[in-house]
Homo-oligomer: A and B are copies of this chain.
Amino acid sequence: MSVTYPLGFRAGSVHAGLRTIPAPDLAVIVNDGPDDVVAGVFTTNRVCAAPVQWSRRVTADHKARVVVANAAVANACTGIDGLTDCQCEAEHIAILFGCEPHEVVVASTGVIGERLDMPSTLVGASTAHGVLGRGDDVDASAARAIMTTDTVPKMATVDVGGARFGGIAKGAGMLAPQLATMLVFLTTDAVVDPDEFQDALAKACDVTFSRVDSDACMSTNDTVVAMASGASGANLTGGELTEALTELCAVLARQLVADAEGSRHDVKVAVTGATSTEAAVAVAREVTRSNLVKTAIAGNDPNWGRILAAVGCVPEDVAPFDPDQVDVSINGIEICRAGGIGEDRNLVDMRPREVHIDIELHAGNAEAAVWTNDLTHEYVEENSAYTS
Contacts and interface: CB of A to CB of B under 8 A. Distances in A.
B112 A306 contact: yes
A298 B218 contact: no
Interface stretch (A93-101, A156-164, A335-343, A363-371): A335-343
A313 B43 CA distance: 10
Q: How large is the interface on A (under 10, 10 to 19, 20 to 34, 35 or more residues)?
A: 35 or more
Contacts of A47: 308-309, 311-312, 323, 326, 339
A69 to B, nearest CB: 19
Contacts of A82: 340
A76 interface: yes
A113 B341 contact: yes
A233 interface: no
Contact of A387 (B112, B290, B301, B314): B301
B339 A77 contact: yes
Given A48-B312, A305-B112, A296 B384 contact: yes
A215 interface: yes
A310 interface: yes
Interface string A32-61: 000000000000011110000000000000
Contacts of A316: 46
Interface string A285-309: 0000111100110110101111011
Q: Which 3 A-B pairs have the closest CB atoms?
A: A112-B305, A299-B384, A47-B312
A122 interface: no
Interface in A3-47: 45-47
Nearest to A345: B113
A216 interface: yes
Classify the secondary structure of A's interface with B.
loop
Given A289-B216, A324-B79, A336-B77, A380 B341 contact: no
Interface of A: 45-48, 74, 76-79, 81-82, 111-114, 173-174, 215-220, 289-292, 295-296, 298-299, 301, 303-306, 308-314, 316, 323-324, 326, 336, 338-341, 375-377, 379-381, 383-385, 387-388
Contacts of A112: 303, 305-306, 308-309
B217 A384 contact: no
B310 A217 contact: yes
A291 B336 contact: no
Contact of A379 (B290, B295, B309, B388): B295
8 contacts: A45-B309, A46-B311, A47-B311, A47-B326, A82-B340, A174-B292, A217-B291, A292-B383
A45 B312 contact: yes
A363 B209 CA distance: 33
Given A220-B309, A291-B215, A311-B47, A338 B79 contact: yes
